[in-house]
Structure 1
Amino acid sequence: MINKITCPQRLLGFEKPFHVGLIGAGGTGSACASLLFKMDTVLKKIGSKGLTVTVYDPKRVTPANVGRQAFWGDYDVGHYKSRLLVNRFNQFGDTDWRAETEIFNGKCTNDIDLLITTVDSAKARLEIGDNLSKCRKTKYNADKLWLDLGNSNNRGQALLGSMFGYCSDNKLASPFNLFSKSWLAASQDDKIIAQPSCSTDEAITKQSFGVNDVLASNAFAMLLFPLIRKGEISNHGFIFNLDDCSTDAIPVDENVWLMYGFDPKTRLESNSNETVLQK
């Protein structure tokens, strides 16, 4: 029975930088972008070749985004979020990142080693997860990982798991394996949640100040960096609540997965109907 996540060789960056696909450049996504830059710098200083990043986001900066997200002033309003962030890192941080202004749907992941989703739409998560789950792992991509970050007004959760879902090649649950049912229920409120805020005051009623930064920093400090630095971690996620200052771990444990409605045995039985993802 699996009880830990082992760091894939590709994330150690011995031979080449590993590729991160960051989906979303809003509150949590822009915080992740800054942390990815910091982690890239630290990893290079300790002998790794670091990482490279592609940021996907079709949205543009609005006045309500300024200050709450990593955008600086009214002169940022109207620009694509992904391009603005990537251009700044490339210009001032000596990186070679890429920006995409099209919607990421999970169908083009051949060159992505680590997927990070920070989208504010449950429907988008379902589409990404469904497309990924239809692809069966090969020996080349069996160890690819997916970190999903989501939050409400004052709560948040993170889960690091398999990119393509639990199967015989890598017995690690994916965010889609554990949360697809809750995403389906939450998708009913997508139109309300995703509707642009008219003001900063309205925006912080949807997402409390700092909730995105707490989510992103904890995910990097508790999951990603320890996995790369130590080689393995026994928890692949957490849930936190700002109101009562609590954080609860999500262990790598099949019994815990059953609590979320995911049965690994059923998953293995369905693998024979999946499409094989080519290298």
Structure 2
Amino acid sequence: MKARKNKTIKPAVHIVQKELLQPYNPVSINLIGAGGTGGQVLTALARMNHALTALGHAGLSVRVFDDDKIDDANLGRQLFTTAEIGLYKSVALINRVNRFFGTNWKAETVRYEKEQLKDKDVASAVITISCVDTVQARFNIAEVLKYLSKNYGGRNHVQYWMDFGNSRTSGQVILSTLEKIKQPSSEIYKPIDNLPLVTDEFKELLYSSEQADNIPSCSLAEALTKQDLFINSALANCGASLLWQLFREGILFNRGFFLNLADFRTQPLKVA
């Protein structure tokens, strides 16, 4: 009787290209949305950039897109001050980060939509991070990124899209690729070259998690009825940890996660 051969199932992984791990120039990142989550993500990126450069990496070059201005309801939860009321969120946050960390990052006071983005060099970045609060905004971003993936071949050619989304006490962060990322052969792992777009794979989830009332809040108290005080910072820190793993370890077993602060539960989304 012939013995059965043991077939070991290789764990699926996504392996990051060397150009991101040991770049000659700072890695370009477009951060779309400078609200509750976007502001927290920007601070995390600034800390990450400082740490990466200390470790000999070329660091990050970030551009923030947001056409919204600061009002009273943004104070406290979004970490703006009374002196900043009336300023564009993107400008206020970028100025603050640049002064604190000595960076030269940029602010754009327009929405990230095809009609607004005439300069492909500005619209395109190796990594796009979206922190928007409507489904339509995500599909607008997807449209722009798909277009750039096919029509822009510059140094900042789009590769990854990390999307942050949340309801009142829950949310998700999902990493996608805009094209197949060349993977090395491996005897230990099963390298995956394509991570599905969030707008394709989780279309129904995006619509179900969208807040029913998208009218701007008039006060912090009203804003807190729509989003818990710490959901934005919790998502931002966990999502930044995934990005940090991408840069520091160069291999991803998870491409995102689902977070529920109501019962303190996090569910990873495996690479498959």
**The TM-score by the shorter chain falls in which range?**
0.7 to 0.9
Could you tell me which residue of structure 1 aligns to residue 170 of structure 2? 155
**1:93-242 counterparts in 2 under 5 A?**
93-105=101-113, 108=120, 111-134=124-147, 136=149, 144-162=159-177, 164=178, 170-184=193-207, 192-193=213-214, 195-221=215-241, 223-242=242-261
1:153 Cα deviation from its structure 2 partner? 0.3
The number of aligned residues is: 247
Aligned equivalents of 1:229, 1:167: Cα separation in 2: 18
In 2, Cα distance between equivalents of 1:139 and 1:101: 25
Distance 1:59 1:139, change over 3 A: closer
**Structure with a larger share of its residues in helix:** 1
CA contact (8 A) 1:10 1:113 kept: no
C-alpha distance in structure 2 between counterparts of 1:142 and 1:34, whole Å: 24
RMSD over equivalenced CA pairs, Å:
2.6
Q: Indicate the residue corresponding to 2:50 in structure 1.
A: 41
Q: Deviations over 1:80-112 (max 9, x none)?
A: 000001111222321000000001026647640
CA distance in 1, matches of 2:227, 2:86: 22
Residue 14 (structure 1) shift: 2.8
Query: Which residue matches 2:266?
Result: 247
C-alpha spacing 1:127/1:111, structure 2 compared with 1 (3 Å): closer
- What is the SS of the residue equivalent to 2:12? coil
Q: Displacement of 1:186 after TM fit?
A: 5.8
SS at match of 2:240: helix
Which residue type is aligned with residue 118 of structure 1?
C
Larger Rg: 2
Residue 185 (structure 1) shift: 5.7
Residue identity matched to 2:233: D
Identity %: 34
Report the alpha carbon displacement of residue 226 of structure 1 after superposing the two structures with TM.
1.0
Q: Residue 248 of structure 1 aligns to which amino acid in structure 2?
A: Q
1:185–1:84 Cα change, 3 Å: same
User: Which ranges of structure 1 fall in alignment gaps of 5 or more residues?
Assistant: 254-279
TM-score (norm 1): 0.80
Deviation string 1:110-147 (CA, Å, 9 cap, x unpaired) is 64011000011111101111333355558877871110
Unaligned stretches of 5+ residues in structure 2: 1-9, 184-192
SS at match of 2:202: helix
